[in-house]
Amino acid sequence: MVSVMWFRRDLRLEDNVALKQAFQDSDSLLLLFHVNPKQFLSDNSSNQAAFFKSVAGLRDEVKMKKGTLHILYGDIEECFLKLKKEIPDWSNIYINRDETGYGLERDKLVSTIFKELGVTAHGYYDHHIHAAREIKTNSGTYYKVFTPYYNKWIELEKPGVVKVVFDETKLIKEPLFSKDEDQFNHSLDKQIAIKELQLGNQAAHERLDIFIKQDLNDYNEARDYPLKNATSQLSKHLRAGELSIRTVYDEVSRSNYSSGKETFIKELAWRDFYNMIYATHPDQKDQSINLSFRQVEWENNEQLFDNWKEGMTGFPLVDAAMRQLKETGWMHNRLRMVTASFLTKDLLIDWRWGEKYFQEMLVDYDPASNIGGWQWAASTGTDSVPYFRIFNPTTQSEKFDKNGDFIKYYVPELKNIANLKIHDPSKLSEKEQNEFGVMIGKDYPEPIISHKQRRQLTIKVFEESKKVF
């Protein structure tokens, strides 16, 4: 009897619940990754490029352990039929479950395919510290607000690190699907290159070690300042499961107490919270959760949307952040909040447009966290920023990039501005523009909107929407 371990968002050989069980239960095991071309994003997607890179990293890791990661490429039903034809005594499949979105829909589909093929599926929870349906209120409902959710979350016993006994003698090694592998390699070659992107299990461990040694203590104070690079930057490893969330929790919780450690662990709870919210609001990628704000009349001006994407809004912090996203596929959390607020509240562009653009661009794209973050910023989610509390992009800039060093790095047109007007270059006098070598309106745009006016308008638009229900 042959078993299959099907990797999806758990691309690692350690601390992996399904893999541990698969090795434990099987004498003959095939390690599998399936590529579904229907899921492809655009050719410029850094999200997709990063995910391909993570899969290739797992393949290398398996090879180093003298095994083979078999790749199936194409329509999912045809792929599993092909697998069964190739290995008629395939009888079990091991999977770490997806609880939301596309992954959940795919699993519903394959569960019927497996039944028809006579294959028993074994599903486990692995991707979160606490699974979506594990935490409920005392009356048995799901939480809508983070703080009470967190109070319960922190009290619960945490799952420990899982030891995988990797036994290469059990593995099916001879290549079986070389055409599929060629198609994967071809797609891999077509992915865009992303500057400074370190992926893989080893890189993830190195990042975790450095973060715990250097930044965890001061995380509470330093995490809001983009230039300090004081957050863990583990999200790109966690989203594809190159690093287990249990390993992160375990190593962090074994370090000495600090307020930084406490705050960091709370962030891990946000990750679980948004997974629970997505599982319990399955249409939240397409619909605002808050019924009161389903009638918001977004303006959806395409030119302004392009200005935002290109980092050409005339608001330096927004522009630096959007250019960072385009260049590196990553953006600091504070800047995700600022740019998402700017898109939805200053430009009155539908949060779904922003969510889709981030999906395309983020190397750490995680549907539950991204949708959760967008609905938070747009005030349309369950526990969001109130609609009348609108981030001022200039004061955010003065507060979180005081000397403008982050701005200067990503917006080189402004790099010679030697005073605090860098936060609002439209206020530079003609003399200053000459002195700093930047002509506003020519080298760098005038602000594309007036924040003050748009703020008043947006509050009105949200209030109009509220009247409907």
Among 223, 261, 352, 451, binds ligand FAD (CB under 6 A): 223
Which member of 6, 153, 270, 330 is catalytic?
A: 270
Is 48 an interacting residue with respect to ligand FAD (CB under 6 A)? no
From the CB of 355, what's the least distance to ligand FAD, in Å?
Answer: 8
Residue 270 falls in the annotated catalytic set: yes
Q: State the binding string over 290-329 for ligand FAD (x if CB under 6 A, else -).
A: ----------------------------------------
Residue 99 falls in the annotated catalytic set: no
Q: Toward ligand FAD, which CB reaches closer, 145 or 420?
A: 145
Give whole-number Cα distances, 206 to 129, 214, 237, in Å: 21, 12, 11
270 is an annotated ligand-binding site residue: yes
Neighbouring C-beta atoms of residue 193, cutoff 10 Å: 8
Among 57, 373, 381, 447, binds ligand FAD (CB under 6 A): 373
Q: Which SS3 state, helix, strand or coil, does residue 42 take? A: coil
Helix ranges (H only) for 281-332 are 302-310, 316-328
Is 232 an interacting residue with respect to ligand FAD (CB under 6 A)? yes
Sheet containing 29-35: give its strands across: 69-73, 29-35, 2-7, 90-96, 120-124
Distance CA 462, CA 292 (A): 9
Q: Toward ligand FAD, which CB reaches closer, 8 or 271?
A: 271
Q: Name the token pair of 276.
A: 């629970």
Q: Name the token pair of 424.
A: 């609002």
Distance CA 259, CA 261 (A): 5
Q: Name the token pair of 226.
A: 């983009």
326 φ/ψ angles, rounded to the nearest 5 degrees: -65, -40
Instruction: Using the structure block, give the residue that is written with the tokens 């990750």.
Output: 271
Residue 353 falls in the annotated catalytic set: no
Distance CA 33, CA 238 (A): 18
Among 149, 274, 305, 400, binds ligand FAD (CB under 6 A): 274
Is 270 an interacting residue with respect to ligand FAD (CB under 6 A)? yes
Is 423 an interacting residue with respect to ligand FAD (CB under 6 A)? no
Residues at the annotated binding site? 219, 231-235, 264, 267-274, 364-366
- Contacting residues toward ligand FAD, per CB under 6 A: 223, 231-235, 238-239, 267-268, 270-271, 274, 333, 336-337, 340, 358, 362, 364-366, 369-370, 372-374, 377
Residues at the annotated binding site for FAD? 219, 231-235, 264, 267-274, 364-366
